[in-house]
Amino acid sequence: MSNGDDVKTLIIDDQEVSARRGQTILEVARENGINIPTLCHLEGLSSVGACRLCLVEIKGSNKLLPACIATVFESMEVSTDTERLRKHRRTILELLFAERNHICSVCVSNGHCELQTLAQEQGLTHIRLPYRNPNLPVDASHERFTVDHNRCILCTRCVRVCAEIEGAHVWDVMGRGINCMVITDLHEEWGSSTCTRCGKCVQVCPTGALFDKGKIGSEHPKYPDFLPYLNLMREAR
């Protein structure tokens, strides 16, 4: 039984909504059909608040908060789609496209890519920033999967699903800043790593960075929504 304190009422984009105490702004927004763009967030994994696409404005504060982490409070007024937020979202997406070599036309995830879809949703028609053109490797040593670092956006979903769900923690991030890279084990080839070959990382990867060798081109949709069910089943056990 919940007492009165456990239910909060708040306003998201002029819509009055109610929420349970401890819920994030993102959860409440999605329950009410309000779309907030996300990239690093994935239901079923811990939230890191790294991509900054889900930043929202809270009335009375100049600070922008990540909706995936910030929890609701009574009478808060949230704006999720202001001109200020749209400007930052476009710039963030541009930063991602310019950071590595995302050539959509020749990507296995063309048409099923979260980054590509977000770019379209946010009205991006070109990248104003200079492309950085880094020279990055493609590791196809694994018998089933490939990692193409050119398309990695460092959302760390693979790292989290491997550590938190599969419990293997084969993936992590090496280096820092602009030189960060996801790695398996001691920066060894994926194929000879301690990978359990479960393939969860491939399913949760939002872009074409991790893909299944057996699939080509447009036949490569991913199904990251298995996670909430998996967690539910595990809890039930």
Applying CB under 8 A, the residues found at the interface with another protein are 48-52, 55, 64, 66, 69-70, 84, 87-88, 91-92, 95-99, 101-107, 110-111, 116-117, 119-136, 153-154, 163, 169-180, 183-187, 194
Name the token pair of 132: 């950085």
- Dihedral of CA atoms 67, 113, 122, 28 in degrees, nearest 10, equals -30
Cβ proximity to another protein: between 180 and 232 the closer is: 180
Q: Measured from the CB of residue 232, what is the shortest distance to another protein in angstroms?
A: 25
**Separation of alpha carbons 57 and 86, rounded Å:** 11
Q: Measured from the CB of residue 170, what is the shortest distance to another protein in angstroms?
A: 6
Q: Measured from the CB of residue 43, what is the shortest distance to another protein in angstroms?
A: 18
Cβ proximity to another protein: between 29 and 171 the closer is: 171
**Separation of alpha carbons 210 and 145, rounded Å:** 7
Q: Measured from the CB of residue 31, what is the shortest distance to another protein in angstroms?
A: 22
Kindly give the pairing relationship between strand 77-79 and strand 7-12: parallel
Q: Measured from the CB of residue 189, what is the shortest distance to another protein in angstroms?
A: 13
Cβ proximity to another protein: between 2 and 62 the closer is: 62
Cβ proximity to another protein: between 221 and 232 the closer is: 221
Q: Measured from the CB of residue 140, what is the shortest distance to another protein in angstroms?
A: 17
Kindly give the pairing relationship between strand 138-139 and strand 145-148: antiparallel
Q: Which residue has the tokens 């819920």?
A: 23
Q: Measured from the CB of residue 99, what is the shortest distance to another protein in angstroms?
A: 5
CB 42 within 8 A of CB 165: no
Cβ proximity to another protein: between 4 and 130 the closer is: 130
Q: Which residue has the tokens 């081109």?
A: 217
CB 127 within 8 A of CB 91: no
Cβ proximity to another protein: between 104 and 230 the closer is: 104
Cβ proximity to another protein: between 29 and 158 the closer is: 158
Q: What sections of the chain are H helices per DSSP?
A: 25-31, 83-99, 114-121, 157-160, 200-204, 226-236
Mark 46-72 as b/e (b = at least 16 C-beta within 10 Å): ebbeebebbbbbbeeeeebbbbbebbb
**Separation of alpha carbons 137 and 173, rounded Å:** 15
